[in-house]
Amino acid sequence: MKNFDPATQVQYLAQFGEFGDVNPSITDSSTFTFLGAKTMVDTFEGVAEGCFLYSRHWNPSNKYLADALSTMEGTESAWVTASGMAAITCTMLQLCNAGDHIVSSMTTYGGTFAFLKNYLPKFNIEVTFVDPTNLEQIRKAIKPNTKLIYTESISNPLLQISDIPEMAKIANEHGIKLVVDNTFSPMILAPHKLGAHIVVYSMTKFINGKNDLVAGAICADSKFINDLVNVNSGTAMLLGPALDPLRSSGILKNLHTLHIRMKQHGHNAMYLANRFTELGIQVSYPGLKSHPGHELLNSMMNSQFSYGGIIAINMQTKERADSLMELMQAKGVGYLAVSLGYFKTLFSNSGSSTSSEVPAETQSEMGLSPGLVRFSVGLDNDIEHTYMLIKEALEELAYI
């Protein structure tokens, strides 16, 4: 469904504080009183409506943010977590038991890859890694004990595009879940509206956009979210990665400017991608017609939010990538730093940083060049000036 507008959904939220405050009140309490002992028991058993028990379970500030996220995604419910990794790991551990199997995209964030490859074997959960652009490979990888297909809507750092409707069809045929990490493309894609069952986020990135905290979210149907926080068996409740409600309140305010930020990130990234192409640099950006997933993304996206803020260029070797990044930082282009979705431009060499958990031979199998420089393009008002600084750096290093 292409015409679902997440920004307008968020705009019409009516969330107020205790005294008519225009921002919801912050509840910085870990526990809550009950007038009657029976209501406490009912809340433990999940049958009392509207009561809060303990903030590892639910907190009113976290609930405001979770409600806003489920509105943005068009899911019945959501739960917020203390990190993106917590959202991903709790989702997987909730869906799988020992002996189960996951089909995952080979090109995921390095931490996710490490969890799938190195951590899940502890629980005898097996993972088959597939090329996310090869639907036949995905179909063939499914076994009787497969519980989920996992992918990133726009992958980190290769910017491959997942065909969410087709992947959802495969998942539905087998009665399993499609879990999509939409960290790179909030607003641009609404994976649940395209068929995904569960959408996870690192809110550390674009959603919060300030690089001042780490947080995550799980958007899904009410049953899944209720199961996650079940006091006896819920992975989120029992592993306990609850988000600090003070942080929730900040993220909720930032969510209301996300649509403007995504447009500006996308505008600037598109500008740089075009100019890099003119210079003859190998550039990957899904907004370019030359990108293999361009048409697919067009068919799924909310076009008003543009093609996202992440671009990758290939400098061939790590040494060349490092020299360029150091010089760009010295010239004030932005910062040599991991993470993304910040108002300043950030750049990093993915192979030796955010994807360093992926072994060298797998990196090469995925097509990840050791010289890849990933840019998270900032909100620069004068992107032409930023481009001139990057061009100067490329010229000084004799790369162009």
Positions touching ligand PLP (CB under 6 A) are 83-85, 109, 111, 152, 156, 181, 183, 202, 204, 214, 216, 354
Phi/psi for 78 (5° steps) reads -160, 160
> CB-wise, 109 or 387, nearer to ligand PLP?
109
Q: For every residue of the chain, which 3-state class applies, written as one string?
A: CCCCCHHHHHHCCCCCCCCCCCCCCCCCCCECCCCCHHHHHHHHCCCCCCCCCECCCCCHHHHHHHHHHHHHHCCCEEEEECCHHHHHHHHHHHHCCCCCEEEEECCCCHHHHHHHHHHHHHHCCEEEEECCCCHHHHHHHCCCCEEEEEEECECCCCCCECCHHHHHHHHHHCCCEEEEECCCCCCCCCCCCCCCCEEEEECCCCCCCCCCCCCEEEEECHHHHHHHCCCCCCHHHHHCCECCHHHHHHHHHHHCCHHHHHHHHHHHHHHHHHHHHHCCCCEECCCCCCCCCHHHHHHHCCHHHCCCCEEEEECCCHHHHHHHHHHHHHHCCCEECCCCCCCCCEEEEHHHCCCCCCCHHHHHHHCCCCCEEEEECCCCCCHHHHHHHHHHHHHHCCCC
CB of 206 to ligand PLP, least distance (A): 10
Residue 223: CB atoms within 10 Å: 10
Nearer to ligand PLP, 60 or 84 (CB): 84
- Residue 21 CB, shortest distance to ligand PLP, in Å, is 28
Of the two residues 116 and 327, which places its CB atom closer to ligand PLP in the complex? 116
Q: Which is nearer to ligand PLP, 75 or 156 (CB)?
A: 156
Q: How far is the CB of 394 from ligand PLP (least distance, A)?
A: 26
Contact call for residues 72 and 13 (beta carbons, < 8 A) = no
Residue 111 or 191: the one with the smaller Cβ distance to ligand PLP is 111
Please, what is the minimum distance in Å from the beta carbon of residue 109 to ligand PLP? 4
Say if strands 335-336 and 146-152 run parallel, antiparallel, or are unpaired. unpaired
Contact (CB, 8 A) for 173 and 201: no
CA angle 75, 68, 192 (to 5 degrees): 25
Q: How far apart are CA 315 and CA 93, in angstroms?
A: 38
The least CB distance from residue 389 to ligand PLP, in Å, is 25
Q: Smallest gap, in angstroms, from Cβ of residue 238 to ligand PLP?
A: 19
Toward ligand PLP, which CB reaches closer, 142 or 346?
346
Q: How far is the CB of 241 from ligand PLP (least distance, A)?
A: 10
Task: Considering the complex, state which of residue 114 and residue 231 has its C-beta at the smaller distance from ligand PLP.
Answer: 114
**Nearest CB to ligand PLP, comparing residues 146 and 153:** 153
Minimum distance of ligand PLP from residue 339's CB (angstroms): 6
* Position with the least CB separation from ligand PLP: 84
Strand order in the sheet with 198-202: 77-81, 216-220, 198-202, 177-181, 146-152, 101-105, 126-130
In the complex with ligand PLP, the residue whose CB is nearer, 128 or 353, is: 353
Residue 183 vs 248, nearer CB to ligand PLP: 183
Shortest spacing between CB 203 and ligand PLP, in angstroms = 7
Q: How far is the CB of 353 from ligand PLP (least distance, A)?
A: 10
Closest approach of ligand PLP to the CB of residue 301, in Å = 17
Q: Which is nearer to ligand PLP, 53 or 180 (CB)?
A: 180
